[in-house]
Amino acid sequence: MNMKNIYSLVIVLIFLFSAQVWGQNRIYSPNLRAPENGQIDQYPDVVLDWDAVTGQTTDITYEAQLAAKSDFSDAITFPRTELTAEFLEDLEFDKVYYWRVKAYDADEPSDWSEEWSFKVVSTVSVTSPKIGKLEYANPLVKWDTISGLSKYELQLDTVFNWKVENAETTNDILGTFSLDDSHSWVVGEGGLIKFYDGTSWTDQDGGTTENLNAVFFIDPDDGYAVGDNGTVLFFDGTAWTSIVAGTTNDLSSVYYVDADNGWAVGASGIILNYSSGTWTQSTPDNNDLFGIYALSNTNVWACGAGKIVLHYDGTEWTSEVVGSKDHYAVWFTDANNGWVVGKSGKIDYFNGNEWIPQNSGISKDLYAVSFNASGGYAVGKSGSVVQFLGQWQQATSLSEENLNAVWLNGDAGTMAGNSGTLIIKTGEGFNSTFAHILNVPFDSASYQLEDLPFGSNIYYRMRALHSQDTSVWSATRSFPTYSTVELKSPDDGLTDSDLGQLFEWKVYKGASQYFFEIADNENFENAFTFASDSTSINFATFYFDTKWWWHVKAAHQFDVSDWSDTWTFTTKNTVSLDSPEDNAKDVAFCPLYEWQEIIGVSSYQIWIDTTADFLTANKATAKTPFFQCNTPLKRETQYYWKVRAISTLDSSAFSPTWSFTTEGYTGIEDHFGDNSIEIYPNPNKGNFTLRIYSPAGETYQISVLDLTGKQIYQENRETKPGDNEINLNFPDVKAGMYMLHIKKRNDEVSKKLFIN
């Protein structure tokens, strides 16, 4: 090669290299940041975020695309922006979106970034009240907030679209199947088979006492049931007959693609295949298998113990370990959407390529799963129910028994479980006269319900709305409301009660008023009824030694509760004396009589006599539970006394009769002291009697002072030997305590004087 040719070749290579370099983009594609690829539960106002890039100029802009199809054939291209984010709004609920970004250096574009996807939240996640928790008539509903909304809607009703049926059996129901709302079957313990025709359940004879664990129907005239010890039964539209399938292993699940192709699985990994009248068996894995689902003859799934999931592609079975717990049931809606459910509430989802864990929201075992076009249910231990509405949410359960089976088909549905538990779907619900929708502000995280019916099951659900879309309703949750009020005091069965009582009960939240009713008979005939806006009421009964019944109910503007439990009490029959004590000695000859108060009485009657037959009794009436004598008694004399209580309509029996002996003169004659002076009555209205015992006729100085020391009365009185009674009257003196001083030569006695 001559130099000219070499030179020409070099020129060409330089040109080609330069063209290649200058033909490359001068700016890199942005790195996407959020939402992360595959992220779910995004809000409809999601922000697309990416990293900034640099170029050869300072004029850097970005162009984002959003699409509902992964090939971006329906993409929306947003105007170029200097920001590294795109603020979206009004995205559709429960929808997967794809997005990507390219950068521009001036007008020179980069390549597109990676293509990421995210899914918008499907509906509202309600968190409170807890399902099944007793609530008052005004519970607070709470939920996880969603941004980008115009409002929430909260729907309430007192009826549900599932109802408990009387299966007329106590046997455990282990399997169920529904063709439509007039063709459903359940099978179970001891060979149980029942059929539902849309009106009632009837028994069918399977000719076996083995436990039947699963049932499947292709049409009303073509069905199968499988059970323990290799039991396989066939139904031809008229009767069940036994089929020999070639195994004695317990069979747990059965599924048919059509009348000529079906599968059953069971203990020790056995798989039975039915094909045009012939049964074959295989054991690709020795773990117990609990669930089977067939999309077609070449796409069959099974699951079981050991976290095993098996797949059949028409040629062979392959197995893999999925998740962290045993799987009890499997369901597919299509080749790219499948679920296995199992121990500890674990759920794993198949997206066509891989299994992904999903949060069920519970930790109790799930034994069965089923889907229809609207969503799915999984059921399990202790009545656990979760519902799939784009995401799994705990839903209302109507039983606390283990639910072993669920089947959905169109509008028909059946749940079944232990002890004959049977629950059927009855439409969409929320259609009673009580059903209503509440509008909730978009920025709220809670809503205070008011005036709910007493003693009712309240079913509720929520959805989210914005200007372009409305989410599906959340899973239906429920709670019962307290049916009535809980009483507090007086204690039920109280005896020896006062006539007057403070009746108390616990607050019923959400009630605006209470009704109190009391009667002297358990049928509440001629009862007394009072309204109260507080949780207590004072009431005095009329009769002594009488049993009373009482109860309370709550009310608000729309409803009145049932009556509470009825409590009783029995009123006192007599008075309990306090002093002078029975058989007391040396009692002052003008004593103060005291007894225990009976609340609710109008007065007391006291009888005092020197004989126990009270034939010549001194009788007096007191408004208070004490009585100050107004006439001195004889010294060294035995007296008898008793008291009874008086109400507006009745009087009690007299108390037991007590006696006492008055003091004598010993030690008093030669000494002027406290025992020489008596005031009665005390307290008084300013008119009282002063008794002075004087051993000899002498002069006494009497003075009265108030508490400031101011003297309001003074007088000298001459006395005769023995007892002297001096009547004093201060009509204009203010009520209060005063000091009465009585002085004889150098001796002085002071007494407290009470004027009321």
At 693, list the tokens.
Answer: 């015992």
Q: For the domain with range 677-755, which CATH number is right: 2.60.40.10, 2.40.50.1070, 2.60.40.2550, 1.10.10.10?
A: 2.60.40.2550
Q: What is the dihedral of CA 164, 363, 215, 191, to 10 degrees?
A: -70
Q: Name which of 756, 476, 722 is nearest 589 in CA terms.
A: 722
At 710, list the tokens.
Answer: 């101011």
- Could you give the residue range(s) of every CATH 2.60.40.2550 domain in the chain? 677-755
CA 484 from centroid of its chain's CA atoms: 15
Q: What residue type is 21 in one-letter code?
A: V
* Placement of tokens 């962290």 in the chain: 324
Residue 732 confidence (pLDDT): 86
Average pLDDT for 332-352? 98
Residue 16 has pLDDT above 70, yes or no: no
Q: What is the mean pLDDT of the chain?
A: 93
Residue 666 confidence (pLDDT): 52
Residue 513 has pLDDT above 90, yes or no: yes
Residue 426 confidence (pLDDT): 85
Residue 5 confidence (pLDDT): 46
- Could you give the residue range(s) of every CATH 2.60.40.10 domain in the chain? 32-120, 126-160+436-480, 487-561, 577-662
At 186, list the tokens.
Answer: 């359940």
Residue 230 confidence (pLDDT): 98
- CATH fold of the domain at 126-160+436-480: Immunoglobulin-like (2.60.40)
Average pLDDT for 407-429? 92
At 223, list the tokens.
Answer: 């069905």
Lowest average pLDDT, out of 173-187, 570-584, 665-679, 732-746, goes to 665-679
Residue 25 confidence (pLDDT): 56
Average pLDDT for 321-350? 98
Residue 665: pLDDT band by 50, 70, 90 thresholds? low
The three-state secondary structure class of 47 is strand
For 217-238, how does the pLDDT look when each residue is reduced to its tens digit (9 = 90+)?
Answer: 999 999 999 999 999 999 999 9
Q: For the domain with range 162-425, which CATH number is right: 2.30.42.10, 1.10.287.3510, 2.130.10.10, 1.10.510.10?
A: 2.130.10.10
Cβ count within 10 A of residue 581: 12
Residue 694: pLDDT band by 50, 70, 90 thresholds? confident
For 472-487, how does the pLDDT look when each residue is reduced to its tens digit (9 = 90+)?
Answer: 999 999 999 999 999 9
* Placement of tokens 């309600």 in the chain: 126
Whether the Cβ atoms of residue 472 and residue 463 lie closer than 8 Å to each other: yes
Q: How far apart are CA 410 and CA 390, in angstroms?
A: 18
Strand partners, 728: 688
The yes/no answer on whether domain 487-561 falls in CATH 2.60.40.10 is: yes
- Could you give the residue range(s) of every CATH 2.130.10.10 domain in the chain? 162-425
Q: What residue type is 737 in one-letter code?
A: M
Question: DSSP per residue over 160-196, as a string?
Answer: -SEEE---S--SPEEEEEEEETTEEEEEEGGGEEEEE
Question: DSSP per residue over 62-108, as a string?
Answer: EEEEEESSTT-TTPEEPPPBSSSEEE---PPTT-EEEEEEEEEETTE
Q: How far apart are CA 611 and CA 659, in angstroms?
A: 10
More confident call, 696 vs 19: 696
Q: How far apart are CA 208 and CA 230, in angstroms?
A: 12
Residue 427 confidence (pLDDT): 80
Residue 13 has pLDDT above 70, yes or no: no
Q: How far apart are CA 409 and CA 413, in angstroms?
A: 6
Residue 419 has pLDDT above 80, yes or no: yes
Specify the CATH number of the domain 577-662: 2.60.40.10
At 566, list the tokens.
Answer: 């009825």
Question: DSSP per residue over 428-456, as a string?
Answer: S---STT-EEEEEETT-SEEE--SPPTT-
Q: For the domain with range 32-120, which CATH number is right: 2.60.40.1930, 3.10.100.10, 3.30.499.10, 2.60.40.10?
A: 2.60.40.10
* Dihedral of alpha carbons 466, 471, 475, 480, sign: positive
Rg (alpha carbons) of the chain, rounded to whole number: 46
Residue 545 has pLDDT above 80, yes or no: yes
Note every long-range contact of 51-56, with CB atoms under 8 Å and residues 24 or more positions apart, other chains counting: 51/84, 52/84, 53/27, 53/28, 53/29, 53/103, 53/110, 54/27, 55/26, 55/27, 55/103, 55/105, 55/106, 55/108, 56/26, 56/27, 56/105
Q: List strand residue ranges (DSSP E) for 305-344, in order.
A: 308-312, 317-321, 327-334, 337-342
Cis link prior to 490 (omega < 30° from 0)? yes
Q: Name which of 174, 290, 195, 180 is nearest 240 in CA terms.
A: 195
For 173-193, how does the pLDDT look when each residue is reduced to its tens digit (9 = 90+)?
Answer: 999 999 998 999 999 999 999
